[in-house]
A and B are shown apart, each in its own frame.
Chain A
């Protein structure tokens, strides 16, 4: 099912299935109805965006405005789709699925990576920004290689798919075993590492600071926000994260969004935005 595009060896198939299950569990997919009541022609495009990702989509609380690459993309996209106005609302990794499924927003431009599990429920536009997942450590821990994390504690943001992807990667590398010992809201105990979940990136960062976790796993787009001179990223690529615009499955908006995004990719608009916000 949802493992289709993750290339894994047959030997690991069981493990992957379990991870996929965990992924589904923690993703809390609500399969509530609301199948694509086309509501795009109202003149205002409702876009769900993040509020805390520097250079992608940051809410300035003083003005209530958002700034960033995704905002520019959303703005341009809405224009090309023929909407007069764009209305933004903040989504978090925890609630973005529900928000879109319930139709509170027309689409998500929210550092939302294309993943097979997500393709079940949503349509994605072509990737507008390719990212990957990084592992951040404190220099003073003297950890320079992913293998040193064996037996350690990793931190992830709950609701992000970084954790499962990491687990798959660690499993591939043979650092952790095939079994999940326990899986709670607090964290997941794999054979070899414990993955601790945090409600926010800020908490995750503070846990890294105090040493509660030995490494923090987060999207590349987010590391910039928490990077400092006492920290470094391990030289490892966990998994590609390809951000796309998500729309409701089968909605009439989906093909148009895909077309517009492809158009923006083709004419260099998005490249210019990436350059601008880089």
Chain B
């Protein structure tokens, strides 16, 4: 390689390296910027929502606390009511114990105004005389039950929540309750974990909370991190400021985070860098690889061609001079094609990768959201059940208290007292029924009521109370008139001796329970679900295919199919594009109860990222390609060395730099064994091809033997190989290489819909890479094995190799078809039916097509090859689907049906041999002829320029009846062979003539007739005797039967 070329190659290499680095930087920073802006929007969105969520949860806590307090205040008041209504109240510990059991509380105490405990169900730890309990004493002023006082007693590790109700001016009842139930409720509905645990940022991002006071983590999805110091975990204090976005370090992980400070807590919405990096690295990696390949191919091609020309010499026809530079047309022609294809590849791959990534990210996050919603639905249902149960228990207890009061003092059955009791118990109405099922008294306006005897009626089940059942809790049901949820609970009344004496029934209207039950409705759950920036969730009714919930309420109740959805989309775990009301969404579905719930994101949102990136990538890719193209196709016009005639020095006239090299055309086909040589294509272009015999050799060609195109091809093959192997390794080691939510894992998870979509195509590409890599590895192994087992091994291994190749191709095609939604089995089955039809009509057509495929697969011959099919010889012009066209050299095109292409001799080789057999008379001296040939061969070469090598004397090929045949061969191009043979024969004839060497030929010799003598009698007799003697003597000698077969024995 010349110095100039080396410099040029180095410049190109450096430029390619620089452009790859620059591109890498541009793409990754763009990708980062895009994902950061996405994440920023996402985090901002989360941060905007957060105060609302926290407020809602605070309101929830307040509501829960209030409800809880009301229950226990009512209990305290019940005791006061019992104390003031002659129900056997006395301030003793035993009575308190009774009340404690009746009310189901931790402790009941009677406390005097100054804090002295008069009676208690169990010993209390609190000292009510402390000012701490002033709150309880407010009952003496207000007459109403007090606000609760909650105290933690460190020594006993006990929490108590105290409620007081006034009995008289000097005593009050204090109910002490361990608020565990309330704490649990708050924990599950309003704790940081319950609020923040539902939030996601990006795909794997989360929100965690840090105290502003001591910088301890208050909530983190990873429970191990709760309680650690964020400063110790690596967060800089100055990063923790409201509204700050940026990178923070937490436990060795880089997070992109937004901080919002609400109250005493920093809420940090964070996305791990790894999430960004995983999507960025892979996209950028693949795109860069393609860009690198494209640039590399053009560059390498240019360098190879330059090098080849350098070896062959300078041909001015290929150059166009432009000032100090010259433009290499032969390189440019192909380089421009390669550059353009490279540019298209870069643009296409960028777009493809972006689509793949945004879709897979979308899909994964939609799946996660779907799982979240599913969980929410289940949790809400469970919660509703638990709450219903809890409320049942509470209301039953109220009714039991009413029953206790009424049993102990039947005077309370008056309307006024019932109203008072109902107020104390915080129920709307109380009804007292007698043993006949007739309403005896009530505080309600409806006074005349008898329990129904119709099992269908609402009141009928309460009849069982009259038979001695302790209590009956009826399911809450909507009232006919108002539609309000109302619940009835009955508790049997008993006389002192235990006889049933009617029952008391409470009628409760719980708006709180109603609210809670309403939240279980699907529209309530899906309302407010937000995915990404514009995504949402909707539900379709399983049974009738109508929208059960849709953000646009006009659609609710309409048939989904009339708005663009198809039956195939109405199913569980669907994951692909859908169209609703003319808008395309990417949706993921799951089944819940009577509904299919979809998490949908508008397509337009997904695609915002990919267009600018693709454009940026393509433009910068194009610029790089153009520069590389220019670098490759232009070169500096060399200053020719001074002509030697000028005597050296500066005075010599410079040689015209554009004159052809003296050596041009330099013969570069010095090596007759070369496996590469030129062939002429049907359109007249001359290209290189590999000789037929070398195509099936398990031996790669020497680098030096390859043409520039072939070297470039090798480079492409290597690049493809690297790509395939990389993909293959990634597929095999996916778990250790990629996080579980990466695009790779997603594509391999098969959770997408089969069909012509980006995932299916990716899966097909991946599977192809794996299969091809595996096939190549196995074939290489077989090749190694074949060396061990000799010829038989070689045969078997070649057979096996061929088998593996077809098996893998068929398997791959079958799988890929399956993946893109074409069921191979159906295809094969229909092919079976088809083949019956075909066998009648188009059998041969199919045979032709299949044969054509096999010709190409097996590489029997290529366009440009010289082949012999049967007796027809010619250059392959085209291998079609049905026919192969061969030019016989006379301009005649032979069209052969592919199925008839059999007994092919592929004669594509660099040089053929023209053979000339010459016959010589037996009488001629062979030595003389041979010495003449030696003398004349150089003359033949001189006269016949088409001879590439030889002539060679190959010796005597036959001793015929009349002649000795010797053979002379010369090496020539296959295309010249016929003419060279004819010329050679002519030369030989002329030589034989010159040296009077006779060529035998049939000669006719005419003889004069002669007169033949007759035998004498004696001679006849002697002959007879001789015959007889001979027969007798030779009886056992020879084979008589074969000698004489005329039938006479």
Contacts and interface: CB of A to CB of B under 8 A. Distances in A.
Given A55-B213, A58-B214, A230-B150, A212 B232 contact: no
Nearest to A224: B213
Contacts of A230: 150
A200 B259 CA distance: 35
A49 B130 CA distance: 36
Nearest to A203: B154
Which of B126, B127, B136, B215 has the most chain A CB atoms inside 10 A of its CB? B215
Contacts of A210: 126-127, 130, 132, 151-154
A143 interface: yes
B237 A138 contact: no
Contact of A140 (B134, B231, B232): B134
A174 B134 CA distance: 24
A62 B151 contact: no
Interface string B217-241: 0000000000011011000011000
B132 A141 contact: yes
Interface of A: 54-55, 58, 60, 62-63, 65, 67, 138-143, 152, 206, 209-212, 214, 224-225, 230, 276-277
Contacts of B213: 54-55, 224-225
Interface in B115-134: 126-127, 130-134
B929 interface: no
Given A54-B214, A63-B232, A141 B154 contact: no
Contacts, number: 68
A222 to B, nearest CB: 12
Q: Nearest 4 CB-CB pairs, A to B?
A: A211-B132, A211-B130, A140-B135, A141-B131
A58 B126 CA distance: 33
Given A142-B134, A211-B132, A60 B153 contact: no
Interface in B134-157: 134-136, 138, 147, 149-154
A143 B131 contact: yes
Contacts of B136: 140
Nearest to A205: B154
A116 to B, nearest CB: 32
20 contacts: A54-B213, A54-B214, A55-B214, A58-B214, A62-B229, A139-B135, A140-B147, A141-B132, A141-B133, A143-B134, A206-B152, A210-B126, A210-B130, A210-B151, A211-B126, A211-B127, A211-B131, A214-B131, A224-B213, A225-B213
Given A54-B213, A276-B237, A211 B133 contact: yes
Given A63-B232, A209-B151, A210-B154, A277 B237 contact: yes
A63 B135 contact: no
B692 to A, nearest CB: 76
B451 to A, nearest CB: 47
A62 B228 contact: yes
A212 B130 contact: yes
Interface of B: 126-127, 130-136, 138, 147, 149-154, 213-215, 228-229, 231-232, 237-238
Given A141-B131, A225-B213, 13 more contacts: A60-B229, A67-B215, A67-B229, A138-B132, A139-B135, A141-B130, A143-B131, A209-B151, A210-B153, A211-B126, A211-B130, A212-B130, A214-B132
Given A62-B228, A212-B130, A142 B135 contact: yes
Contacts of B126: 210-211
A139 B153 CA distance: 17
Contacts of B231: 67
A274 to B, nearest CB: 12
Nearest to B215: A67
Nearest to B232: A63
A275 to B, nearest CB: 10
Contacts of B215: 67
B229 A152 contact: no
B132 A140 contact: yes
A153 to B, nearest CB: 8
A88 to B, nearest CB: 15
A139 B136 CA distance: 12
Contacts of A211: 126-127, 130-133, 151
B125 to A, nearest CB: 8
Contacts of B149: 140
A140 B154 contact: no
B135 A141 contact: yes
B779 to A, nearest CB: 59
Contacts of A65: 232
Which of B132, B149, B151, B229 has the most chain A CB atoms inside 10 A of its CB? B132
Nearest to A278: B212
A212 B151 CA distance: 12
A141 B136 CA distance: 9
A142 B136 CA distance: 10
A265 B228 CA distance: 32
B293 to A, nearest CB: 50
A53 to B, nearest CB: 10
A210 B160 CA distance: 11
A91 B238 CA distance: 28
B349 to A, nearest CB: 48
Nearest to B237: A276
A276 B239 CA distance: 10
B497 to A, nearest CB: 46
A60 B232 contact: yes
Contact of A62 (B127, B130, B232): B232
A140 B162 CA distance: 11
Contact of B238 (A142, A209, A225, A276): A276
Contacts of B214: 54-55, 58
Nearest to A142: B134
Contacts of A276: 237-238
B59 to A, nearest CB: 15
A258 to B, nearest CB: 27
A140 B153 CA distance: 16
Nearest to A149: B131
A4 to B, nearest CB: 36
A62 B214 CA distance: 14
A41 B750 CA distance: 70
A121 B127 CA distance: 44
Which of A55, A138, A224 has the most chain B CB atoms inside 10 A of its CB? A138
Contact of B130 (A58, A214, A224, A277): A214
B131 to A, nearest CB: 4
A178 B724 CA distance: 94
Contacts of B133: 140-141, 211
Which of B131, B213, B229 has the most chain A CB atoms inside 10 A of its CB? B131
Contacts of A138: 132
Nearest to A209: B152
Contacts of A140: 132-136, 147, 149
Contact of B154 (A62, A67, A206, A224): A206
B65 to A, nearest CB: 11
A225 B214 CA distance: 9
A54 B149 CA distance: 28
Contacts of B237: 276-277
Contacts of A58: 214
Given A54-B213, A67-B215, A277-B237, A152 B131 contact: yes
A225 B212 CA distance: 11
Which of B138, B150, B154 has the most chain A CB atoms inside 10 A of its CB? B154
A115 to B, nearest CB: 27
B237 to A, nearest CB: 6
Contacts of A139: 135
A206 B132 CA distance: 12
Contact of A63 (B131, B132, B229, B238): B229
A276 B126 CA distance: 42
Contacts of B138: 142
A58 B213 CA distance: 10
A56 to B, nearest CB: 11
A152 B131 CA distance: 8
B755 to A, nearest CB: 54
A58 B127 CA distance: 34
Nearest to A58: B214
